[in-house]
Amino acid sequence: MNTNQGITKSQLITMSIAAGICVANIYYNQPILSAIANDVHLTDKEAGNLPVLSQAGYGLGLFFLTPLGDRMDRKKLIIVLQLCLIVTLVGISLVHTKAPLYILSLVIGMLASATQVILPMAASMSVNNKGKNVGIVFTGLLIGILGARIFSGYITEWFSWQHVYLISAGLLVITTCMISFQLPGLAPQYKGNYISLLSSTVLQIKRFSLLRRISLLAIFMYGAFFSFWTTLTFHLSSAPFHYKSDTIGLFGVLAIGGALVTPVFGKLADKGNPAKNQLFSVSIIIISILLVQLFPSSIIAFIFTTLLMDIGVQATQISNIAQVYSLDETANSRINTMYMTLMFMGGAIGTWVGVKCWAAGGWSLVCWQMLLWVCAAMVVCIISWKISVKGK
């Protein structure tokens, strides 16, 4: 049965599940870095490069692969990327040395960018309530990101880290079949060649000042967010906690709780003032970081921080992407590519800086650099709010 948004409930469910299972592959390594390091004989610093590579690969995939969603049938593009990802996941489960582990981590990130073909496809299929529908699919994506840590932590503890990627390959086989049967083929919007497509993608950032502002906000916000989740593993596995992978993965349960409120923010994005919503949500992120900076040895503080940070980040992100998909429907994939590429570049840099700060000054230095990221995000929010007030 079709909903009044021009997209069926079963299609929304399929896209949500597919987005979550696909994007999860970037984050499986975060709570199991110690296990991978022990098996492949890596130092903490070398293991810390794995999430950086996955996120950098995602950024590369966003820029070089997802714009193709405007030039070819998005359904076919998603299926091709996921089939290649399945092969790569089987490959990484068989490696036992650093170089191929690094290379395949990068490739996994690139191919997992199929998620960012699914999101603009959901927006294009929605006649009304675009923010609400994209929010539903984005909830699936977030649950995949956050649930990845729980899944990989337990599977590694019960079996091995290699089993994480083998099971994921099996799940992708299922979602690829679901996409094949459930989603329609969509005629491409762009008729030029691949080079002109990439050039057009870059030009999107020049077309819209709003896109520049929310992209800058996303860079700062995800710099702090990814830095938190990567260094959290190191902090919780050391004194005074000494938690194992499965216990660390449980923090993803709290984050999933935050993800479940995402559709609420999707409705607000369709109705409220985005700049005002962003001021509020970024304030929540600042409060969450202050908690673990002031109480670095309190597990209660980390529980509240995990929940608050995810709510703040998700609220900001939903507000951002609702604006992204309102700019030009004929260029959804290219606009989304620029936004998401810059966002995950921020995330990759934040991860790298976080690992460096952990090595140089421990958790205290990690918290200070996260605050710098989020305070910069707040400056962008204030500028956007002033612009919105003047516009009225």
Q: Once rounded to an integer, what is the mean pLDDT over residues 40-44? A: 82
Whether residue 264 is predicted with pLDDT greater than 60 in this model: the reply is yes
Residue 354 to residues 45, 149, 150, Cα–Cα distance (Å): 11, 18, 21
Say how many C-beta atoms besides its own lie within 10 A of residue 160's C-beta.
16
Listed ranges 167-171, 190-194, 199-203, 264-268; the one with the highest mean pLDDT: 167-171
Q: Once rounded to an integer, what is the mean pLDDT over residues 46-67? A: 87
pLDDT of residue 59: 81
Whether residue 4 is predicted with pLDDT greater than 60 in this model: the reply is no
Is residue 5 very low, low, confident or very high in pLDDT (cuts 50, 70, 90)? very low
Is residue 263 very low, low, confident or very high in pLDDT (cuts 50, 70, 90)? low
Say how many C-beta atoms besides its own lie within 10 A of residue 156's C-beta.
25
Listed ranges 227-231, 287-291, 304-308; the one with the highest mean pLDDT: 287-291
Whether residue 2 is predicted with pLDDT greater than 60 in this model: the reply is no
Burial 335-372 (b: 16+ CB within 10 A, else e): bbbbbbbbbbbbbbbbbbbbbbbbbeeebebbbebbbe
Neighbouring-strand partners of residue 8: 2
Listed ranges 145-154, 183-192, 304-313; the one with the highest mean pLDDT: 304-313
Whether residue 276 is predicted with pLDDT greater than 50 in this model: the reply is yes
Q: Once rounded to an integer, what is the mean pLDDT over residues 339-365? A: 90
Cα separation, 349 vs 227, in Å, equals: 8
Share of the chain above pLDDT 90, in %: 46
CATH topology assigned to domain 9-183+190-391: Growth Hormone; Chain: A; (1.20.1250)
240 prior amide bond cis, ω within 30: yes
**Range of lowest pLDDT (8-12, 202-206, 329-333):** 329-333
Q: Once rounded to an integer, what is the mean pLDDT over residues 233-249? A: 83
Burial 193-218 (b: 16+ CB within 10 A, else e): eeeebbebbeebbebbebbbbbbbbb
**In contact, 285 and 191? CB cutoff 8 Å:** no
Handedness of CA 35, 36, 38, 43 (dihedral sign): negative
65: tokens are 């692969």
Whether residue 3 is predicted with pLDDT greater than 50 in this model: the reply is no
**Range of lowest pLDDT (120-134, 185-199, 209-223, 250-264):** 250-264
- φ and ψ at residue 8, rounded to 5 degrees: -80, 160
pLDDT of residue 114: 95
**In contact, 145 and 24? CB cutoff 8 Å:** yes
Cα separation, 141 vs 143, in Å, equals: 6
Residues across the chain: 392
pLDDT of residue 268: 61
Residue 371 to residues 110, 198, 267, Cα–Cα distance (Å): 29, 34, 29
Q: Once rounded to an integer, what is the mean pLDDT over residues 206-210? A: 92
Listed ranges 230-234, 250-254, 328-332; the one with the highest mean pLDDT: 230-234
Q: Is 388 exposed, middle or buried (0-12, 13-18, 19+ CB in 10 A)?
A: middle
Chain-centroid distance, C-alpha 184: 25
Higher pLDDT, residue 377 or 142:
377
Whether residue 181 is predicted with pLDDT greater than 80 in this model: the reply is yes
pLDDT of residue 261: 65
202: tokens are 């870059």
Whether residue 125 is predicted with pLDDT greater than 60 in this model: the reply is yes
Look over the chain and give the mean of its residue pLDDT values, rounded to a whole number: 87
206: tokens are 């020049």
9: tokens are 């409930």
